Amino acid sequence: MTKIDPFGMVDIADKESVPRTAEAVGRITLSKETIEVIMAGKVKKGDPLAVAEVACIQAVKRTPDLIPMCHQIPLSSVDASFILGEDYVEARCRVSATYKTGVEMEALTGVSVALLNIWDMVKYLEKDEGGQYPSTKITDIRVIEKRKGK
């Protein structure tokens, strides 16, 4: 039987606070028609990229609520950006803080939630006749850069 140790969070009390940055990226594959609707500003729920940007920032700030062993980090900045391709949207999230532990999980959480919000806003365009999503997918979520120190 596995028991959760109530003191399982890593003790960082003796670590020095230093500048830290992490950037994560991920993609959602969509139909070319959906990309055209996004570019034309005709998505029924509004601008999915604007909503995804706000969702990304909110998610970064809520990371310790979602990932139990993450420390609460005093964030310096969060930047979300998007690239539209022919059949995808790429989301990027860059997070910075001066603290005792890194911000990779925050960047990954931000990208993940941004992509989920895009899916939510365009799902009516992506469904097939049976209500399924035959080609919509979120992929390649990863940390592409991590910096520690000056």
- Just list the catalytic residues: 120
Distances (CA, A) of 110 to 21, 33, 66: 14, 26, 11
Which residues fall within 8 angstroms of residue 89, CB to CB, at 6 or more apart? Answer: 27, 28, 30, 35, 38, 48, 49, 82, 83, 115, 118
Residue 73 CB neighbour total at 10 angstroms: 21
